[in-house]
Amino acid sequence: MGIRVGFTCSKKVGNAVARNRAKRRLREVARIVLPEMGRDGWDYVLVGRKDVTAALSFETLIADFRGALQKVHR
pLDDT digits (tens, 9 = 90+) for 10-52: 999 999 999 999 999 999 999 999 999 999 999 999 999 998 8
Domain that holds residue 35: 4-72
Q: What is the DSSP letter of 55?
A: T
Domains held by the chain: number? 1
Instruction: Please give the backbone phi and psi of residue 54, each rounded to the nearest 5 degrees, phi first.
Output: -85, -25
CB 55 within 8 A of CB 22: no
CATH of the domain at 66: 3.30.230.10
Q: Which helix (H) or strand (E) holds 7?
A: strand 4-9
Q: Check residue 7 and give its pLDDT.
A: 96
pTM of the model: 0.90
